[in-house]
Amino acid sequence: MRLRPLPHRTAFFIISMAMVAGVVAFIWLRPPRMMPINHVAIHRPVSADIRVLTANINLLRPHEGIHSWSNRRGMLIQVLHHIHADIIGMQASTPAQTAWLAAHLPAYAHFPDGAAIHRSLITTLAGPLSTWNQIWFRRDHFRRIAGTYGMVRPNHPQNNPTENTYFSLVVLHDRLDRFPDLIVLDVHLRHWEKNAVKSAEKLHKILSQWQNRFPAAKDILLGDMNHSRSSHAIYQALLGTPSTVPLRDTFNYALHKPGQQWGTWENYTNHVYSPWPTDLIFVSPQLAHQPARIIHYHMPPSKFPSKHLFVLTVLIPNTSP
C-alpha cells in the first residue's frame, strides 16, 4: 500500500508544533526552583460577592532582564493577595510558572493541572500549550464539578502555531450557595482578525454545549482578547447571539471620560497602547455585577508584575425573591 504524502500545510504545522513542544519540554517543563518569598495568607472575610479577575501574567522567557519571571513573580503574588479574587482567569502561564504559583497560592485550586495525551498527534503535541490558560478558584468557596481544555479550532490549525487559540473551562459549584453553578471559560484570543472572529464564534458553541449539560448554570467568558470593542466583528462575536449564549461586557463604557486611556497592555512602560481595554470579562445577563475596573499597580519605578494590567469585576447575588 502506497502512502500519500501529507499536505504541505499539515506537515508544516506538525513540524512547527513538534519544535514548540521540544522548546517547552526543554525550558518550561523543568522542575521550578522554589524560591521562598515573604507573603501573607489570604484572610478576606466571607462575602456575598464574588470577585472575578482576568490576568495575563506573561510567559516565562529567557533574557528578559529586569522583567524576567524571577523578578516579577514576587510582585505578582503581592498583587494577587491584595486583590483577593475568588476566581482568576490567568493567561500565558507556562507549566513552570503554574507550579511555582501553586506553591505560593495554597488557598487556590487550579485547572488544568497537567497536559494530557490525546488520540490526535496534533493535540498531543500542543498539550503543554493548551494548559497556559489557568483557572484559579478559592478551595473553600468552590468545588469543581467538571472541566475541559484544548485548542478552540483543532480542525483548523494555523500555519503560524502562535496564532492558534486555546481555552480552559470549568464548572464551579458555590459551596456557600451565593450563586448558581458557574461555567467559567478562560481564553487567550489571537491577533489575526478572521481567525479571531471564527474562534470567538466557536467559543460560544462550546459554551452552548456546556450550557446544555448544566442548564441552570450561568456563564463567565474572560481573558486576553487581544482586541477591543473597536474591533467590531470580533467584539460582537464575543458577545454572542440569542441562539448561542448571549453575554454582556462588564465594562461600563458610559463611565469613560474624554481623554482617558482604558487600555490594558502597557508592555512594561507605564503607558497603555489602546484607548480601550483588550483584557475583558463577559458574563450572563442574569449576573448582576459592579462595573469592571482596571487594576493599576503601585510598584516602584520600572517594576511590573506583567506587561498587562489586570481587570476585576465583582458579581453581586440576585436578592430578588
Element (H, E) at 171: strand 166-174
The C-alpha torsion from 199 through 148 and 207 to 124, rounded to 10°, is 20
pLDDT digits (tens, 9 = 90+) for 79-120: 999 999 999 999 999 999 999 999 999 999 999 986 544 445
pLDDT digits (tens, 9 = 90+) for 115-131: 544 445 444 445 567 89
- Could you tell me the pTM of the whole model? 0.85
Domain 53-316 has CATH 3.60.10.10: yes
Cβ atoms of 163 and 195 within 8 Å: the answer is yes
- Rg, Å, the chain Cα set: 19
Strands 182-188 and 218-224 turn out to be parallel
**In residues, how long is the chain?**
321
At residue 280, what are phi and psi to the nearest 5 degrees? -130, 155
Listed by start position, the domains of the chain span 53-316
Cβ atoms of 33 and 67 within 8 Å: the answer is no
The predicted pLDDT at position 4 comes to 52
DSSP letters for 9-24: HHHHHHHHHHHHHHHI
Q: Which DSSP symbol is given to 104?
A: H
Q: Retrieve residue 113's grid coordinates.
A: 493541572
Cβ atoms of 294 and 255 within 8 Å: the answer is no
Q: How far apart are CA 137 and CA 313, in angstroms?
A: 15
Q: How far apart are CA 211 and CA 181, in angstroms?
A: 11
Cβ atoms of 264 and 308 within 8 Å: the answer is yes
Q: How far apart are CA 31 and CA 108, in angstroms?
A: 20
> What average pLDDT does the structure give for the chain?
85
Strands 288-289 and 50-56 turn out to be unpaired
Cβ atoms of 272 and 295 within 8 Å: the answer is no
Q: Retrieve residue 89's grid coordinates.
A: 482567569
List, for the chain, all residue ranges whose pLDDT scores fall below the cut of 50: 1-3, 6, 12, 14-15, 20, 23-43, 116-119, 121-125, 321
